[in-house]
Structure 1
């Protein structure tokens, strides 16, 4: 069977029709989806929720008869203020798109809110954005929590389980720290105002080193007092650092964003507000060990210095003995008769002269020997000494010494120097030595 190289012209397909790659096709489809479908709100239930290490959220939005894959990138997810629960119903602000590498249709979630609570969530986001623009949420504004406070204040309800948790943790971990309660309701219409009064009272009394603002978990409505603007501004203006421990780990309130430290639970707030007694005792023991080691080193060095100083000391008795010996020697010299002293000095001078002459003779002998050795070496290196054994020095027309016969030209004039006299010669032939 024969196959033609090209399709026949009557195949019916335009010859100049472009051929797309799969990536180009998916890119065009993604553009059509993004341009053709505007951003919109979608209601549904979350399933297959994954919180990636990058901070992105991957999940599905479903209802009774359909599902769609969704992604919420890290920057958008951080602005939500809470972590959604699998099975919970939410409303999602989405942009329809296509995941080009696989060709999967999906939605990119820009924001979300609990279903039926859109107004509260919108109010939460508006206040959060406003406080952020004012700099009250900036991380650089937050103060460090003291590690060794003497007194800790707690703002919460007298009937709250969070108070029992905080007191239990403080009694177990830090019984040395004094705890002062500033009671206020943590739920209801008047709760926000009374929480503000409790913070004002703590600031006015000026008796604590750090303040805990805590309550247990609950619904969005239950925690709404901690989303109050006036309370947020009281927290930001507090003269002492504030630790917020409101709700469970997945709950976020405005109080969490403006506090100096957010704890995931009231129990965690009590654990984060100070070091435990065991930690402090460990630090004290470590410091005592370091101090003892330093003291031992100082004593050892001081002992070494004393030993060195003692080795250099001379007792007064030894000093007197040395001075006495010197004095006796001087007295003996002074008691010698004058002629005897002169004879002694003459003998000393004569012996010194003899030693000087002997030294000069030895130096002259050594110098003469070195001179003879150097003269012998120079004679051995004299090129003319070789001529006495029948050799000659041949110089070319330019006066340079000839080392290779092949460097000479025929009829070149040569100057030959012998041990006795010179001679002139002409080159008639050159050969090499094999």
Structure 2
């Protein structure tokens, strides 16, 4: 062993820069870190080795890596490491880590991020959630967050203590909001929301305070693909001001902080209230104008009727004067008698005219009162009708939007079920004599088979068969 150790030390007597993927990393906060490094080809591991980062170097190396990349080292990450070869007679061959290049990891993380964005865009998911129509009044809210997070408490306080006195129905779906467990936890929360029988106006994802480290969960493809296809519009207030996460990109509306999301919802509801008040004011003004027009029309008819009566009285008086003049040519006595009769008739006529005018005025006032009452009832009925129709339109719109969202979701599922789409995700179809193979027992050694993948077809000969239970 000593001779082998000398050979190792003499052959590998310096450090080497190596690119490797982290398969596993462990260790304590104050102690050493232990890495399992692998090299892959076509997603298959072709090499594996252990590497150690001793505690006296860990603080400097890991601290510099996190300061520059804003990420923690975790499984699946590719690193550029400066290594030296070590051999121990008991523990065998391993590597010692002398440095980690954060610049390489930054480039690798950005490459993975861009690939995720490109995949979401090619599948039509990057802007899928933005197609949803956010209700003018947002009241029923599903919240994905941690119950103890300061951001969640700030969000609830902002909604509860709003200056307009609005009330909101919020339901918390608990989730881990950072670290390696976050994607699956948030994914599970959105599944629960979509399976819920309750209708939500929006889904709010919030994370407040804390470090910007371990935010890579919001760049996870599976998580963002699921969020994009939620039944409801997604609002984000992740609080990551320096960069925009992919979750922010796929969201219907992206805001910086939890309190900014709450303010957005409150302001949106207040805007709708203002529009509703303007509509009510318009209806009220229109009704008042209509009443004034009707009152003016009644007054015009009243004036016309009074004028006609006075005109008829004047005509009758003129006719009487003419008759008196003709009678004067005859007998004075007859004229005198006729004058007396005419005066009496004139007095009677004036009395009758006065009674008629009073009766007409009374009837006009009665008709005006009835018309005013009818106009008031008409105004109330119009307001009730408009309010009823507006509610029906709102209910119909909400139902239509929900059904459209479901229809878009089912259309996307159909697209994903397309055979070519299934092949593009890495699946294949194996055929014998043009027929798909479903039963292994129908094949024998030496048979010719054809395997179809996304890029073409492979032709093979069976040399060995293994059952699943063997």
Instruction: Please report the TM-score for the alignment, with normalisation by the length of structure 1.
Output: 0.44
The structure with the larger Rg is 1
Instruction: Please report the TM-score for the alignment, with normalisation by the length of structure 2.
Output: 0.41
